Amino acid sequence: MQIEECLNVMTKALKPIEDVETVSIDDCADRVAAEDITAPIAVPSFPKAAMDGYAVLAKDVKSAALGRPKKMKIQAHLMAGDYQDIKYEKNQCVRVMTGAYVPEGYNAVVKQEDTDYGENWVRIYKDAVSYENYCKVGEDIKKDSVVITKGTKLSHVHAGILASLGIDKVNVIRKAKIAVISTGNELVKPGEPLTPGKIYESISHMLINAIKKEGLQVIFSKLCRDDEEEAKALLKKAASEADFIITTGALSVGKMDFLPKTLKDMGAEILFQGADIKPGTPTMAGVLDGKVILSLSGNPYAALANFEIYFWDAMAEIMGCDKFKPVVGKVRLMDEYRKKEKRRRLVRAYTEEGKVYLPSEVHSSSVLSNMALCNCMIEFEPEQQVRMGDYVKIRYIKGL
């Protein structure tokens, strides 16, 4: 199957989260808005000065110039935060500071630099046009307008917008709960002694940090020996507690690659097994007790590459937010790549300013260290032949 077909069948099996939580705007970053949010007030809610100067009616100073100043009486002085109900008087003005209320009848602010800085009377040396240096009511946000739509992934900027409207709490979709199960007798937790024949388990830590960085939660991460009964118990627990499950290892055709059979024995529906892609051809997805399980390779780069392909589309569906979807683009290849692949191939790379580079000659799916030099993957089609300078498709890796 092509990865597009795999994605299609997997996303159709997913159930969007409907649970809603209320959080403070100080905790809303990376959360998904559960509803449209409308403005309860206009911003600004009163006409205000855009800079220090003198509020005038523009037509009263239309002839003012450096050699022909307009002399005006100052009715009052208003600082930001002040309010006075001042009635407009012809050929009079109000001294205002930036952000101050501009009384009704005045429709422009002359910068203080264009005056003699008078305190009781002022000479104005420049004319003004209507609404110059003047912020209208609702100039930023109109009352009752939709400022945030349902499904928006909120940021620190959204928090500022909500605060400007006087909103201190927001309804968001509950964070997706993810379970990660890493299989293999050879695996040891970092921090524990490493004995001959063992390796430190690294994939789950890479995935957990990627998941958390996008505002989701990992409810548990477990190592699982190559033991079907142990795997069944962990999968059953994960399916009862998590919204989405990731497994690594035990997938291919080796003696200990028991996972496909185990899932079938548990009554799981296999959505796909094997895609026309390298690395990670054995990648599999199934449904157990209504929860989708994405099973990745036990090789670090293969696991990461296929996690990037499948996981973020799954989260976009579950969370009802397209911001989770992976980002793709076309950029110019700046290195030679002479291989012609029989399958679609994902090659680690680094992109910036519309160009992409191959920072490493080692592309084995078991090698992870050179990924620290990369932030994307080039996607080569079967039999595609490229030269330096050609445009190629890339997949950006989230968070890098």
- H-helix or E-strand containing 171? strand 169-173
Structure tokens at 22: 């209320």
Non-local (6+) Cβ contacts of 35 within 8 A are 150, 171
Residue from 390, 387, 395, 297 nearest 345 by CA: 395
Q: Dump the DSSP string for 319-347.
A: HT-GGGS--EEEEEE-S------SSEEEE
Omega within 30 of 0 (cis) for the link into 382? no
- Residue, of 256 and 181, whose pLDDT is higher: 181
- H-helix or E-strand containing 304? helix 300-319
Q: How does pLDDT run across 163-207, given as a tens digit for each residue?
A: 999 999 999 999 999 999 999 999 999 999 999 999 999 999 999
pTM score, whole prediction:
0.91
Q: How does pLDDT run across 201-253, given as a tens digit for each residue?
A: 999 999 999 999 999 999 999 999 999 999 999 999 999 999 999 999 998 76
Report the distance separating Cα 266 and Cα 138, nearest Å.
59
> What stretch(es) of the chain map to CATH 3.90.105.10?
23-39+146-173
Residue from 321, 332, 324, 330 nearest 307 by CA: 324
Mean pLDDT estimate for the chain: 95
Packed helices 3-12 and 300-319: angle between N→C axes, nearest 10 degrees: 40
Please give the share of the chain, as a percent, with pLDDT higher than 70. 99
Answer for the pair 296, 277: CB distance below 8 angstroms, yes or no. Answer: no
The CATH-assigned architecture of domain 328-396 is: Beta Barrel (2.40)
With tokens 């007798």, the residue in question is: 185
Q: What CATH number was assigned to the domain covering residues 3-16+174-324?
A: 3.40.980.10
Non-local (6+) Cβ contacts of 383 within 8 A are 340, 341, 342
Q: How does pLDDT run across 100-119, given as a tens digit for each residue?
A: 999 999 999 999 999 999 99
3-state helix vs strand vs coil in the chain, percent to 5: 20, 30, 45
> What stretch(es) of the chain map to CATH 2.40.340.10?
328-396
Question: Is the dihedral angle over the CA atoms 248, 249, 252, 256 positive or is it negative?
Answer: negative
Q: What CATH number was assigned to the domain covering residues 23-39+146-173?
A: 3.90.105.10
- For 109-134, what is the mean pLDDT? 97
Tell me what pLDDT residue 255 has: 64
Non-local (6+) Cβ contacts of 96 within 8 A are 49, 52, 53, 54, 55, 77, 78, 102, 109
Tell me what pLDDT residue 340 has: 83
> What stretch(es) of the chain map to CATH 3.40.980.10?
3-16+174-324
pLDDT band at 273 (very low <50, low <70, confident <90, very high): very high
> What stretch(es) of the chain map to CATH 2.170.190.11?
48-135
Hey, what CATH class is 48-135 in?
mainly beta
The DSSP bridge pattern shows strands 291-296 and 244-248 to be parallel
